[in-house]
C-alpha cells in the first residue's frame, strides 16, 4: 500500500476511536433525538428462591454507575418497602450531583438493602444487575432480576 493510504487509514482509525470514547463518556450528542429525555426505566424482579428473604422494612435501591469506574453512583432511585416486581424510572432528577446529566454508557443494578442505608452491600443484602450492561439512557424496558445474596 502507498504511504498516503496507510496514513488515511490510521487517521480514520483515530477518529473512530475518539468518537467511541466520546460516546462512552456521554459527550456525543448527535445521536440523541431532539428533546429526548434521558431516562432509564424498567422492572426489578426477585428470584423466586429469595422471596422469603424480603421484609417490609427493606429498601430497594436502583443504582446507575459508570462502567468500570468508581463505585460512586451517578444516579439512584430509592423505593421503601418494595413489593416485587417493582417498576422504576430514573431521570435527571435522581442524579447524585446537581448539574450532572444522565447520559453516556452506564451500568444499572438493583439492591435490596436490609438497613436502608446507601453504601457498600452488607451481609443479607441482595443484588442483581441488568444483563446487557453497559447500556445507554433511553432504555424503557430494562429487566433486572435480583439473584445474589451477600
Per-residue confidence (pLDDT) for residue 73, from 0 to 100: 92
Distance CA 56, CA 29 (A): 42
Distance CA 145, CA 14 (A): 39
**Residue tagged 438493583 (cell numbers):** 110
Burial class from Cβ neighbours inside 10 Å (0-12, 13-18, 19+) for residue 92 reads middle
Per-residue confidence (pLDDT) for residue 35, from 0 to 100: 34
Quick one: CA torsion of 109, 75, 150, 49, rounded to 10 degrees? Answer: -40
The domains of the chain are located at: 1-31, 40-149
Retrieve residue 88's grid coordinates.
Answer: 422504576
Please list the ranges in the chain whose pLDDT falls under 50. 18, 26-36
Task: Tell me the pLDDT of the chain averaged across its residues.
Answer: 83
Per-residue confidence (pLDDT) for residue 56, from 0 to 100: 93
Is residue 108 within 8 Å of 132, Cβ to Cβ?
A: no
> Percent of the chain having pLDDT more than 90?
59
**CA–CA–CA angle 75, 108, 38 (5° rounding):** 55
Distance CA 67, CA 1 (A): 39
Per-residue confidence (pLDDT) for residue 101, from 0 to 100: 84
Amino acid at each position: 500500500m502507498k504511504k498516503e493510504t496507510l496514513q488515511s487509514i490510521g487517521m480514520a482509525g483515530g477518529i473512530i476511536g475518539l468518537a467511541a470514547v466520546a460516546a462512552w463518556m456521554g459527550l456525543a450528542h448527535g445521536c440523541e433525538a431532539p428533546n429526548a429525555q434521558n431516562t432509564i426505566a424498567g422492572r426489578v424482579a426477585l428470584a423466586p428462591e429469595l422471596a422469603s428473604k424480603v421484609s417490609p422494612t427493606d429498601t430497594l435501591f436502583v443504582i446507575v454507575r459508570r462502567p468500570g469506574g468508581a463505585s460512586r453512583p451517578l444516579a439512584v432511585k430509592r423505593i421503601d418497602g418494595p413489593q416485587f416486581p417493582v417498576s422504576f424510572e430514573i431521570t435527571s432528577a435522581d442524579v447524585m450531583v446537581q448539574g450532572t446529566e444522565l447520559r453516556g454508557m452506564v451500568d444499572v443494578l438493583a439492591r435490596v438493602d436490609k438497613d436502608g442505608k446507601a453504601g457498600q452491600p452488607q451481609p443479607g443484602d441482595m443484588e442483581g444487575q441488568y444483563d446487557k450492561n453497559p447500556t445507554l439512557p433511553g432504555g424503557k424496558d430494562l429487566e433486572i432480576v435480583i439473584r445474589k445474596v451477600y
